Amino acid sequence: MTTIDLDWTRCDAHGLCSRLLPEKITLDEWGFPILDGRELDPELVRPARAAALACPALALRVSRKA
């Protein structure tokens, strides 16, 4: 399964990720992302990777787990 995960120690609440991947990421009232934690649907893997690459803080990671 493929997921997108967040390193909270890096996130600076830029909010860009929620604009690039609104299907999986919303923002709380302070602008920090809320991830649903579920497996990425196949069509969302590419947009998730794009969001991870675009994160200015390099706080997102797309990973594949057995």
> Rule CB under 6 A: which residues touch ligand SF4?
6, 11-17, 33, 55-57, 59-60
Q: Which is nearer to ligand SF4, 22 or 66 (CB)?
A: 22
Q: Would you give the distance in Å from CA 43 to the centre of its chain? A: 15
DSSP alpha helix (H) spans, 1-66: 16-20, 42-54
Cβ atoms within 10 Å, residue 58: 11
CB of 51 to ligand SF4, least distance (A): 7
CB of 19 to ligand SF4, least distance (A): 9
Q: Which is nearer to ligand SF4, 27 or 45 (CB)?
A: 27
Amino acid at 54: A
